[in-house]
Amino acid sequence: MEDKAQIQEAIQLQGEVVRKLKSEKAGKEQCLRSVLGVTVAQIDEEISKLLELKAQLGGDDVKQQSVLKTAKGTRDYNPKQMAIRGRVFDTITRCFKRHGAETIDTPVFELKETLMGKYGEDSKLIYDLKDQGGELLSLRYDLTVPFARYLAMNKITNIKRYHIAKVYRRDNPAMTRGRYREFYQCDFDIAGQYDAMIPDAECLKIVYEILRELDLGDFRIKVNDRRILDGMFAVCGVPDEKFRTICSSVDKLDKMSWEDIRKEMVNEKGLSEEAADQIGEYVSMKGGKDLAERLLQDQRMCQSEQACAGLTDIKLLFSYLQLFQVTDKVVFDLSLARGLDYYTGVIYEAVLTRAGVASVSNEGQNGAEESVSVGSVAGGGRYDGLVGMFDPKGRKVPCVGVSIGIERVFSIMEQKAEVSAEKVRTTEVQVLIASAQKNLLEERLRLVTELWDAGIKAEVMYKKNPKLLSQLQHCEELGVPLVAILGEQELKDGVVKLRVVDTREEVDISRVDLIAEIRRRTSQA
Amino acid sequence: MEDKAQIQEAIQLQGEVVRKLKSEKAGKEQCLRSVLGVTVAQIDEEISKLLELKAQLGGDDVKQQSVLKTAKGTRDYNPKQMAIRGRVFDTITRCFKRHGAETIDTPVFELKETLMGKYGEDSKLIYDLKDQGGELLSLRYDLTVPFARYLAMNKITNIKRYHIAKVYRRDNPAMTRGRYREFYQCDFDIAGQYDAMIPDAECLKIVYEILRELDLGDFRIKVNDRRILDGMFAVCGVPDEKFRTICSSVDKLDKMSWEDIRKEMVNEKGLSEEAADQIGEYVSMKGGKDLAERLLQDQRMCQSEQACAGLTDIKLLFSYLQLFQVTDKVVFDLSLARGLDYYTGVIYEAVLTRAGVASVSNEGQNGAEESVSVGSVAGGGRYDGLVGMFDPKGRKVPCVGVSIGIERVFSIMEQKAEVSAEKVRTTEVQVLIASAQKNLLEERLRLVTELWDAGIKAEVMYKKNPKLLSQLQHCEELGVPLVAILGEQELKDGVVKLRVVDTREEVDISRVDLIAEIRRRTSQA
């Protein structure tokens, strides 16, 4: 039998490997491969043999009781949450389309190597798939790297695209604050060689439009530039090799005090106190075009060509933002760093400055000073080098984009819906086909077929003889506005009793006119 | 060093297992577990030791050059494909909503144990995530099991929901025929204790409506019932323990000849020739309500209570299908088996009977006889036991549902779009703001801001001084219908030159009227 032979073979192969493994004392770690004489391929083979054997033994199906939960950091969406989510997506998609974007989709997993070396310290948060033989795969960590891979693979040099999809991070979930391990990103990116800062400004315009339209309370969009950060580090005396790690310290300024950041820089990362203090001066600066102009005059900053280039672009960016009429919410903030490795120019991040729910009543006051950040809802920047990392010849495609993270937005919208006691409909049913008497199932099915075929959203209860009361209750619960009631008399008269659920008004409508009447009465819905 | 110790330990443990394995001749298959004295846990441990060792050897990360591809069996969707996909989803979603469904969403991965024991032989196709510490996770294999888990977890006893999302199967991809490892399912399910066959019939009605509306050529919906299959196996003399494996042989009848299936049953699965021949008689039967009635009179079939219950339900089902006016496409087909373990009653599967593209010209003929199956596009059935598998107290929630698999549909739609040379628009831009002269960037940005704020879908080129020709070309390529051209003269006159891209007609429109004029001219789009 084939099965037995396979097991025998697996046993023999295992024995061989074990003999090899034993025949050598485990040598120095770095030359393990050659010392032991075992290859990765051999180990893979062993594993697949063992897996086969395991499958023959019945696999993992041993324990019987089931834990009834979703994976850590993930959640289901119930119909009400889906209705709210749908509205958020509609708003965002409408904005992306208004700005002329196409859309693409990429697989939920990529080759592991596609994601490697793109996220710096955050790489440890990537979900890997199990090696079941074949390629090594990882769940996408964001939509930007797959986008860059897509551009390189298809040799696309300019496109304006949006992509709304889930991404995966093995982070510490904080679900009450909208931080999940599976979450949506809504990305808008512009790829192509264009004149400076025009696409960058449009990305900020888009964030502005979306956050305003979602009506989540006041917000700020912080802007900075990687080149300004790097230039600043250079002129403050940060050694080159410490740029990234000092940058990731600065990135924590929205969560930690400057004192703690300074301690981390000096004590943990070995930065000189002097350098730390100079950085401290700069990262406290916030402003607009004027700040960029002032820093262009700054003796120390001017020593860095990079910083100057960044500041000049920030100045230009603000002039476009003025034309786009969004400068009231945009702040040039030298403390903004952003963790991801791949940014090369402008970076930005949008934060809600008050809880969305409470904000409505305070709208009149000038809230800018007393604003408290309740967290980032969008971020992005320019990444001119990423596509080149995928192109066999290193050809670069300049890109800038923004990612809207909407889990927090959902949380706020859900709260809002609850507070306002708004009745969120989860279906769009226009009419329920009901009967007041028994034995009318066939008539109900006949009528609902007519309505479906005419494109009316309609339901019947799946009972032969449902009670009229339970049919009406169903409508009240789900917000169905109309009930078409069939009875012996109505059938004889060739009419249907149309009941308006809200007002309980009832009118007899001729069967011939029913579809038009339903359409007329629900055309707003 | 810890690493060395671990390797030593791995080696020892391996040795032990191998010794155990060798100490026994591989015994009878069904008592492998006890005879060999090896447990699944031991094998798992071995595997994880080997994987550790592999990681120390550098894992698979040996090669440096980046392979520019998507994972095996997956693909990107480009903007044109997305436009077509969007249309398919719209059609399907519209139908689901017309039938009053709510929607939910579940995470892309589930606890591994949630999926275990639900898919029979297909379980081997499940993607597992790597054990990175924490829970053992798997990518969802379908949307049905997560739905059942959702119902049990939230103690929901009745709901009508749809769910459109990607599922994952480590199957052999055949991408040209629309078989992928990552693919969409569009599921519609009705959960609840209702009168027999009413929800079941609605599921078939939905398949009918969607396939008709997608206009993919002729199709058939095959219907059968698990109870009829099981009853048939019983009366044909199939031993109880062989039901599932014989069922999965029958399931291959659409891909293999009866002769080959018979060989498989008799030679590989040890079924008697007599039993096989009796099965062969039944599985060749196809018909409608009449066939169900005929089989209810069948001497042999009637010995099975199960089969009788199934046949009675099929009869009732067809009477509802008549009311729904879909019997022209539905066939009661005793060879339909469907692989999945969890079905308990009615099962069905829709197949396209000709390639969608070619079908149009032959529409007139009666194609039923000469129909050639080009593959299944929808399937489903009743699974009354699945929710109970998750409920701590085993409480059952009867469910019936259908899953539309749309990758094949996409393929056909794409072909169709190509054949018809139809220009698929990938954006919805109504107007491009262009300039005929230099130095009008600011004016363009100001105008496009006005339009965006009014909800018009509008674009500018991201160049300071783009050529008019390249601006017009952009519109032709992307199908943008209008160009608003700014020039010194127009600015002075307070007008915009509005150009209709198709006709090249140009008219001066006052700035005040521009928005209304653009709306008027693009209200159809």
Residue A303: CB atoms within 10 A of its CB come to 12
Angle, helices B305-323/A441-453, rounded to nearest 10 degrees: 50
Reference B15, options A20, A47, A52, A7; nearest CA is: A20
Angle, helices A273-283/A226-235, rounded to nearest 10 degrees: 140
Enter the tokens of residue A95: 């904005």
Q: Is A130 on the interface with B (CB under 8 A)?
A: yes
Residues in chain B: 525
Contact call for B459 and A324, based on CB within 8 A: no
Reference A59, options B263, B173, B41, B473; nearest CA is: B41
Q: Is B256 on the interface with A (CB under 8 A)?
A: no
Reference A93, options A206, A198, A203, A215; nearest CA is: A206
Burial class for B501, CB neighbours closer than 10 Å (0-12, 13-18, 19+): middle
Q: Is B454 on the interface with A (CB under 8 A)?
A: no
Contact call for B107 and A71, based on CB within 8 A: yes
Which site among B31, B40, B477 would you substitute to test the A interface, given the most A Cβ atoms closer than 10 Å to its Cβ? B40
CB interface of A with B, residues 277-336, below 8 Å: 320, 323-325
Report the percent of chain A where pLDDT is more than 90.
70
Contact call for A71 and B111, based on CB within 8 A: yes
DSSP bridge pairs for A161: A102, A189
Q: Give this complex's ipTM.
A: 0.83
- CA A384 remoteness from chain centre: 22
- Distance from A259 to chain B by nearest Cα, in Å? 34
Q: What pLDDT was estimated at residue B457? A: 98
Closest residue of chain B to A206, computed from CA coordinates: B452
Residue A34: CB atoms within 10 A of its CB come to 11
Distance (Å, whole) CA B218 – CA B364: 11
Q: Is A460 helix (H, G, I), strand (E, B) or coil?
A: coil
Q: Are A445 and A455 in contact (CB under 8 A)?
A: no
Each residue's pLDDT tens digit, B305-346: 999 999 999 999 999 999 999 999 999 999 999 877 789 999
- Of residues A38 and A113, which shows the higher confidence score? A113
pTM over 0.90: no
Which site among B29, B78, B460 would you substitute to test the A interface, given the most A Cβ atoms closer than 10 Å to its Cβ? B78
Residue-by-residue DSSP string for B202-239: HHHHHHHHHHHHHT-S-EEEEEEEHHHHHHHHHHTT--
At a CB cut-off of 8 Å and minimum separation 6, what does B109 contact? A71, A74, A182, B129, B137, B138, B139, B140
From chain B, pick out residues whose CB is under 8 angstroms from the CB of A195: 462-464
Q: Is the pLDDT confidence value at A2 over 50?
A: no
From chain B, pick out residues whose CB is under 8 angstroms from the CB of A398: none
Closest residue of chain B to A184, computed from CA coordinates: B107
Mean pLDDT for all residues in chain A: 87
Token pair 């103690």 is found at B155
From chain A, pick out residues whose CB is under 8 angstroms from the CB of B395: none
Closest residue of chain A to B389, computed from CA coordinates: A66
Q: Is A222 helix (H, G, I), strand (E, B) or coil?
A: strand
Q: Name the DSSP class of B105.
A: B
Distance (Å, whole) CA A488 – CA A495: 10
From chain A, pick out residues whose CB is under 8 angstroms from the CB of B182: 107-109
Q: Is B50 on the interface with A (CB under 8 A)?
A: yes
pLDDT band at A10; cut points 50, 70, 90 = low
Contact call for B14 and A21, based on CB within 8 A: yes
Q: What pLDDT was estimated at residue A375? A: 77
Distance (Å, whole) CA B64 – CA B209: 51
Q: Is B519 on the interface with A (CB under 8 A)?
A: no
Q: Is B140 helix (H, G, I), strand (E, B) or coil?
A: coil
Q: Is the pLDDT confidence value at A524 over 90?
A: no
Burial class for A439, CB neighbours closer than 10 Å (0-12, 13-18, 19+): exposed
Reference A104, options A95, A112, A96; nearest CA is: A96
Q: What pLDDT was estimated at residue A360? A: 37
Distance (Å, whole) CA B397 – CA B389: 10
E runs forming strands in A41-151: 102-103, 109-111, 137-139
From chain A, pick out residues whose CB is under 8 angstroms from the CB of B71: 107, 109-111, 135, 137
Reference B403, options B176, B147, B100, B219; nearest CA is: B147
- Residue A488's φ and ψ, nearest 5 degrees, are -55, -45
Q: What pLDDT was estimated at residue A353? A: 87
Distance (Å, whole) CA A89 – CA B170: 31
Q: What pLDDT was estimated at residue A37? A: 53
Q: Name the DSSP class of B155.
A: T
- Distance from B493 to chain A by nearest Cα, in Å? 21
From chain A, pick out residues whose CB is under 8 angstroms from the CB of B199: 462
Report the percent of chain A where pLDDT is more than 70.
83
Q: What pLDDT was estimated at residue B414? A: 87
pLDDT band at A374; cut points 50, 70, 90 = low
At a CB cut-off of 8 Å and minimum separation 6, what does B309 contact? B227
Burial class for A285, CB neighbours closer than 10 Å (0-12, 13-18, 19+): middle
Contact call for A40 and B54, based on CB within 8 A: yes
Distance (Å, whole) CA B48 – CA B57: 14
Angle, helices B289-296/B305-323, rounded to nearest 10 degrees: 160
Which of A71-80, A114-123, A293-302, B397-406 has the lowest average pLDDT? A114-123
Reference A207, options A44, A3, A346, A111; nearest CA is: A346
Q: Is A387 helix (H, G, I), strand (E, B) or coil?
A: helix
From chain A, pick out residues whose CB is under 8 angstroms from the CB of B7: 21, 26
Which site among B75, B81, B167, B445 would you substitute to test the A interface, given the most A Cβ atoms closer than 10 Å to its Cβ? B445
Q: Is A153 on the interface with B (CB under 8 A)?
A: yes
Q: Are A401 and A419 in contact (CB under 8 A)?
A: no
From chain B, pick out residues whose CB is under 8 angstroms from the CB of A454: none
The whole-number average pLDDT for the span A459-477 is 96
Q: Is B110 on the interface with A (CB under 8 A)?
A: yes
Distance (Å, whole) CA A521 – CA B298: 53
- Distance from A520 to chain B by nearest Cα, in Å? 17
Q: Is A266 on the interface with B (CB under 8 A)?
A: no
Question: End-to-end alpha-carbon separation of chain A, Å?
Answer: 66
Q: Is A6 on the interface with B (CB under 8 A)?
A: no
- Distance from B135 to chain A by nearest Cα, in Å? 7
Q: Name the DSSP class of B71.
A: P
Q: Is the pLDDT confidence value at A62 over 80?
A: no
At a CB cut-off of 8 Å and minimum separation 6, what does B457 contact? A97, A98, A99, A100, B427, B428, B429, B430, B431
The whole-number average pLDDT for the span A346-360 is 72
Reference B313, options B416, B199, B403, B466; nearest CA is: B199
Distance (Å, whole) CA A137 – CA A146: 13
Buried b (16+ CB within 10 A) or exposed e, A384-406: bbbbbbbbeeeeebbbbbbbbbb
Distance (Å, whole) CA B515 – CA B518: 5
Q: Is A469 on the interface with B (CB under 8 A)?
A: no
Reference A185, options A172, A200, A166; nearest CA is: A166
The whole-number average pLDDT for the span A497-521 is 96
Q: What pLDDT was estimated at residue A32? A: 39
Q: Is the pLDDT confidence value at A513 over 80?
A: yes
At a CB cut-off of 8 Å and minimum separation 6, what does B188 contact? B96, B99, B101, B160, B161, B162, B203, B206, B401, B402, B404
From chain B, pick out residues whose CB is under 8 angstroms from the CB of A190: 462
**In which residue ranges of chain B is pLDDT below 70?**
1-66, 355-374, 524-525
Each residue's pLDDT tens digit, A308-318: 999 999 999 99
Each residue's pLDDT tens digit, A153-178: 999 999 999 999 999 999 888 877 77
Q: What pLDDT was estimated at residue A41? A: 59
Q: What pLDDT was estimated at residue B2? A: 45
Which site among A16, A22, A109 would you substitute to test the B interface, given the most B Cβ atoms closer than 10 Å to its Cβ? A109
The whole-number average pLDDT for the span A344-353 is 94
Q: Are A21 and B48 in contact (CB under 8 A)?
A: no
Q: What pLDDT was estimated at residue A66? A: 61
State how far the alpha carbon of B374 is from the alpha carbons of B84, B350, B355, B399, B409, in Å. Answer: 21, 11, 6, 29, 11
Q: How many CB pairs under 8 A join A and B?
A: 332
Enter the tokens of residue B105: 């969403």
Distance (Å, whole) CA A368 – CA A363: 11
pLDDT band at A39; cut points 50, 70, 90 = low
- Distance from B151 to chain A by nearest Cα, in Å? 10
Alpha-carbon dihedral of residues B238, B244, B245, B246, nearest 10 degrees?
A: 40
At a CB cut-off of 8 Å and minimum separation 6, what does B79 contact? A102, A103, A104, A159, A161, B426, B427
Q: Is A29 on the interface with B (CB under 8 A)?
A: yes
- Distance from A465 to chain B by nearest Cα, in Å? 9
Q: What pLDDT was estimated at residue A356? A: 43
Enter the tokens of residue B409: 């549909």
Q: What pLDDT was estimated at residue B62? A: 38
Closest residue of chain B to A48, computed from CA coordinates: B47
From chain B, pick out residues whose CB is under 8 angstroms from the CB of A460: 198
Contact call for A449 and B56, based on CB within 8 A: no
Q: Are B366 and B407 in contact (CB under 8 A)?
A: no
Contact call for B7 and A26, based on CB within 8 A: yes
Contact call for A427 and B102, based on CB within 8 A: yes
Q: What pLDDT was estimated at residue B248? A: 86
Enter the tokens of residue B133: 């510490």
Reference B404, options B46, B163, B193; nearest CA is: B163
Q: Is the pLDDT confidence value at A60 over 60?
A: no
From chain B, pick out residues whose CB is under 8 angstroms from the CB of A93: none
DSSP bridge pairs for A346: A225
From chain B, pick out residues whose CB is under 8 angstroms from the CB of A455: 98
Residue A241: CB atoms within 10 A of its CB come to 7
Distance (Å, whole) CA B435 – CA B507: 15
